[in-house]
Amino acid sequence: MEPRRSTQCWADVLGGVMATGTLDKSPDVAGRRERLVALCQGLPEAMAERAGVQHLAFKVSKKIFAYYVYDHHGDGRIALLCKAPPGEQSQLVDEDPERYFVPPYVGPRGWVGLRLDSPRVDWRAVKNLLSVAYVLTASDKLRKQSGQGKAARRGNPRRRPTRG
């Protein structure tokens, strides 16, 4: 059976998220945001909602598993914030503090931030982080639909960066 997709129009959500200010000089802000939304759209019953003027919240079953943030409270970053398994946040931040960071508010609960404003984004790492965050949040039924079982709940969201 084909997984049910959200009836929400993703283009409407994207249209409401603006890219303004000094971060406009970051590489392809709109393209990266659209690619992130497309990755989330591929997850069963995942949906996006505007969260403020320039942010998106990604949800499954009314529970948030990730955020797209643009200059959150003037921090100068464009980033993906995701739920992460216990211990992963500190390991990722320790290994690559230029790419990963502890986000405000949700960081103390183990979430991890991944910068999307760097010259190169490792999209395999983005996809893996999103998948793990989704699995940590979704019901068993939806995890099965996504092709990821209970073992993925303990999965490692890290991917080594690729060159290119």
Residue 117's identity, in one-letter code, is D
Residue 14 included in any domain: yes
| Cβ-based neighbours of 108, under 8 Å, separated by 6 or more | none
Residue 2 included in any domain: no
Residue 154 included in any domain: no
Residue 4 included in any domain: no
Residue 156 included in any domain: no
- How many domains would you assign to the chain? 1
Measured from the Cβ of residue 88, the count of other Cβ atoms closer than 10 Å reads: 21
Residue 79 included in any domain: yes
- Residues of the chain short of pLDDT 70, as ranges, are 1-27, 52-53, 72-73, 145-164
Domain containing 39 equals: 10-147
Query: 111-120 pLDDT, tens per residue?
Result: 999 999 988 8
Sheet of 56-60, strands arranged across = 46-50, 56-60, 63-70, 78-82, 112-115, 100-101
At 38, which CATH number?
Answer: 3.90.1150.30
What pLDDT was estimated at residue 5?
40
Residue 162 included in any domain: no
Radius of gyration of the chain (CA): 15
How do strand 56-60 and strand 46-50 relate by DSSP bridges? antiparallel
Residue 152 included in any domain: no
99-110 per-residue burial string, b: 16 or more CB within 10 A, e: under 16: bbbbbeebeeeb
What pLDDT was estimated at residue 23?
56
